[in-house]
Each structure stands twice: as structure tokens, then as C-alpha cells.
Amino acid sequence: MLVRPALLPLWPPRVGDLFGREGPLVLEVGFGDGRFTAELAKAQPDWLILGAEVSAASVLRAYRRLKREGIGNVRLYHGQGPFALRNLVPPGSLKRVIVNFPDPWPKKRHQERRLLQEGFFRRLSTRLLAGGDLLLTTDHEEYFHFALAEAERTGLYRVEVKDPPEAHLRTKYALKWREAGRTFFHAVFTKVAEDPTPWPPTRRYEVAHALLKGELPKDLALARVPLPIPGGVAVFLEVARGEEGFYVLTHVEEEDLTQDLLLEVRRSSHGIYAGVSRFGSPLITEGVKEAVRALVRELGRRGLKVVQDHT
């Protein structure tokens, strides 16, 4: 029921491999406690519903709910909606996207964090079927008009403002805002054209490591400074000493993927291994590789020589 990108045998996966069958594919971004997702899955048993949610606590709540209710046509991804859209949804395959009560980020300086921006609408058009749509429900009037303007700027959607369907007003946040007497806003964005810029899936690699010769350093102090990587930053947060060497807690932030992973520098039968630890099964991306390259450069400064480079 949970989708773990690093553990999928095929990348990007096929819909049939994720769900065990084909069917109309729907993505819900920010499902919260999953009560809407569960209702939708029961109301539309033929549909295949993929949910993306950044809050781990919410994913767990939704997971338990779906399990309790014996729901089999939902898959949950813990992470950013755009990552799920890009990698778990094949081009031109999505019937619908549902966004109920997205975080409004009302402060001007936080607006770039909003989900429904021009770039998102453009990219979404590459994944929607012809005539596929996005349904937005919110209590935040300013964000609502922002989203309408952003979509209209693309020229790729027909936008209709409607009354929200009753089911969309039974989410956790809908009930909360209903009690507070707020007004609700709803729009349907139907794809009428497609952005010509392709949006290829995130590249996943099998390995990211190097073998070096030389002495394992006695200590490995690494500066805690952001290292630029393609589309983001990486930071070595902390170094811990293990029996065979060091573990480096590393934070890697890419466009729509944030991972905290362990890198290792340790003795192996072939020399000094510097690379990604299997712990936590991180997705090996270009950004992760770049972090390993930076670590290998650090070891080079300490006199170690690369003998095999798989970074």
C-alpha cells in the first residue's frame, strides 16, 4: 500500500505494477488523514487512487484507516505531490488530480512554496489524459484566485468555478473550517492542451560509491555548509564513528525530493569504501551522487586516492 521508490524493481514503475491491475488513475495531493481518499476509493472501486502526502504522521493515519477499512485500490507515497506526479504517473495517463485545502502559504515571501503555480500546471498537463482535470477546493480566497490566474497564464486549461461537491466538504479541514463558518471555493481545471516541454522522470541510479586506497583518516570533520547540487543543495550534517569507519548523516534537497541518508567511509576488502549506506533505502539520484562526489573530494584532500569511481 505504501510506495517506496527506491525499492521498486522497475523505474519509473508501470501503473499495473503499482496497483496489480490497470484502471482510471487519480492522484490526490495532500490527503491529510485520508478520510476523503477512503471515501473516494469506496465510491469508485474501479479507480486507482495514488495519494501523496509530505507529513509522515498523516501518512500513518491514512495507512491505518485504509487497512482498517480493507481498501485495496489506493497507494500512498510519503513525499511531495510533484515527485509522485513526475515519477509514478506515466505521461498522458491521469484522469484526475484532487487537491483539497492545500496549504495556503499566505505570506508573500512564502508564496513560492504554493503547490498550484504556473510551472506545476504546465507539468501537470504532460501527465493528464486529454480532458483530464484537477479539482481544487479551498477556504482561502486569495490562494484560490492565485491558482486560477496561474492556470490561466498557461493557456492549457479550461477553468470553471463551481460549488464544491459535497464529498469534498467532508475532509478533516473542511469540517474544521465549516465549523468556523468559512466560505468554500472550488474550481475544475480541465486540460485542453499540453505543454511541449517534456518532464522526464527523476533519474535513479543503482550505485554511488568509490573505492580509495590509503589510510582511513583518524577523524573526519566535515564543514556543515550547503553544497550546491543540480536543482538543490546537500549538507553533511553530522559524522559518527563506527567500528569500520564513519557514518555521515547527509541531507539532500532536490527539486521535489528531500532525503536524509547515511554515507559511509569505511574499510572494505577492496580498500576504503566511500558511498551510500543501504540504511533507509534512499533513492540514488543525481543529487545523492553529487554528495558522494563531494565526500570523495574531501577524502582526496586527506591524501586518499580513488581507484574505482562509481559516482
- By C-beta, is 116 or 288 nearer to ligand SAM? 116
C-alpha cell at 23: 484502471
Shortest CB 80 distance to ligand SAM, Å: 4
Rounded to a whole number of angstroms, the minimum distance from the CB of residue 24 to ligand SAM is 21
Q: How far apart are CA 258 and CA 271, in angstroms?
A: 31
Please, what is the angle between helix 56-68 and helix 35-43, to 10°?
40
Considering beta carbons, is residue 211 or 257 the nearer one to ligand SAM?
A: 257
Which pairs from 145-154 meet CB under 8 Å and 24+ separation? 146/111, 146/114, 146/116, 147/114, 147/116, 147/187, 148/187, 150/116, 150/117, 150/118, 150/120, 150/121, 151/116, 151/118, 151/121, 151/189, 153/118, 154/118, 154/121, 154/122, 154/125, 154/195
Query: Kind of pairing, strands 257-268 and 271-276?
Result: antiparallel
Catalytic residue among 46, 103, 133, 139: 103
Q: Could you list the residues that contact ligand SAM (CB under 6 A)? A: 29-32, 52-55, 58, 80-81, 100-103, 115, 171-174
309 part of the active site: no
The residue (of 106 and 131) whose beta carbon lies closer to ligand SAM is 106
Tell me how far, at minimum, the Cβ of 53 lies from ligand SAM, in Å: 5
Q: How far is the CB of 123 from ligand SAM (least distance, A)?
A: 13
Residue placing its CB nearer to ligand SAM in the complex, 119 or 131: 119
- Which residues are annotated as catalytic? 103
